[in-house]
Copies of this chain bind each other. A is one copy, B any other.
Amino acid sequence: MIQIAVLGYGTVGSGVVEVIETNKTDINKKAAEDLSVKYILDLRDFPGDPYAHKVVHDYNVILNDPEVTVICETMGGTKPAYDFTKQALLQGKSVCTSNKELVAAHGPELIRIAKENHCNYLFEASVGGGIPIIRPLNYSLTAEKIDGITGILNGTTNYILTKMDKEGAGFEEVLKEAQEKGYAERNPEADVEGYDACRKIAILSSLMSGKNVRYEDIYTEGITKITAADFKYAKQMDKSIKLLAMSRDTEKGFFAMVAPFMISREHPLYSVNGVFNAVYVHGNMLGDSMYYGRGAGKLPTASAVVSDVVDCARHQGKTIMCFWDEENVDVTDLSSAERKFFVRVRDDQREAAMAAFGSLVEVNVGIVKEFAFMTQVMSEKEFNEKIEKAGGCLNRIRIMA
């Protein structure tokens, strides 16, 4: 019997309890042990809830109960999750988490502590909700040198961009609708500014490199400047606009960024719409592979947490291998990264833009008073210099190769 404590009885936490109950027979078979939720930690009480009697308010009850060997941390945030997790691991209790903020901020330290205490810190649910991606990176692609990861890692922004694409609507309008439907938070900053995707690509990039990619080092640009007009141009070029989180391990350095990109219809990420997420991975032997599914939501995310619990049950007293050292990766400045750009300038800057950029491809969708074009491949530095020289820039969007 594996006795579990769930920290935080919110959306994901209650999902964990539901998944364990609903799929009991299958899960216990796969874990080769019966899983049982012994405690639920929450500040609130839940009168009438069938699990009300398991709710405790004092974390020490859990910490001091030697029967509890696995803890599901579904609280979110770094405080008090960091302290709680550390205390548990130091006592040899494994922790399975959906908390991307905590994993991105303290992952390698907590992984080390788990190892030192012969237990596990697992975080399949922290990226891509229910999509298996952490385990494929750690267990499946072990014969690969992975040199590129590109993800659509945030459901809210992908929902908004998909709506803008399909309906020609503006950002503010779609954001409002998404908030009404519960697909976007009241304070949408973490999503629309790319901060959430940034935490997630920091985690994936760290697993790719084996060292620590600090999320603070990742260039992050949100989708708030994307307009209906941008989508008109995109459509004209048979492209869409997606918020991509990516990292590349190249000879020029290790690049990582979050930004809106124009992406062609042929690319598998083009068809990832609505609240779906996908992670596109490039390995030197396998080439491209992609992992697709629901990137958020109560049951998908909880399913990933419980799959970690099953892994803990299968590896009691043993730490599952995970390469994420505390040494920081030297994330390279974007200035030498090369790509094409889509640019819109005021029409009175047409001559200046043509002079600055030389060879370019004009894109015309009948919007007057502006001149839109696609550049040749150039470095970010070169692009910034040229657009500065041209002047009158209305917007610019990177183009995915």
Contacts and interface: CB of A to CB of B under 8 A. Distances in A.
A302 B290 CA distance: 18
A314 B138 CA distance: 12
A12 to B, nearest CB: 12
A287 to B, nearest CB: 5
B141 A23 contact: no
B143 A135 contact: no
Contacts of A288: 293-294
Contact of A323 (B30, B270, B292, B304): B30
Interface stretch (A77-85, A186-194, A305-313, A377-385): A305-313
Interface size range of chain A in the complex: 35 or more
Nearest to A297: B287
Contacts of A131: 289
A26, A140, A290: most-surrounded residue (chain B CB, <10 A): A140
Interface string A1-36: 000000000000000000110110011011110000
B286 A300 contact: yes
A179 interface: no
Given A285-B130, A290-B290, A294-B288, A26 B139 contact: no
Contacts of A136: 132, 135-136, 140
Contacts of A145: 23, 26
A375 interface: no
A187 to B, nearest CB: 27
Given A135-B136, A136-B136, A143 B307 contact: yes
A30 B135 contact: no
A89 to B, nearest CB: 21
Contacts of A302: 143, 285
Interface in A266-305: 268, 270-272, 283-294, 299-300, 302-305
A314 B140 CA distance: 12
Interface string A300-340: 10111111011100100000010100000000000000000
A144 interface: yes
Contacts of A29: 210, 323
Interface of A: 19-20, 22-23, 26-27, 29-32, 124, 130-132, 135-136, 139-145, 210, 268, 270-272, 283-294, 299-300, 302-307, 309-311, 314, 321, 323
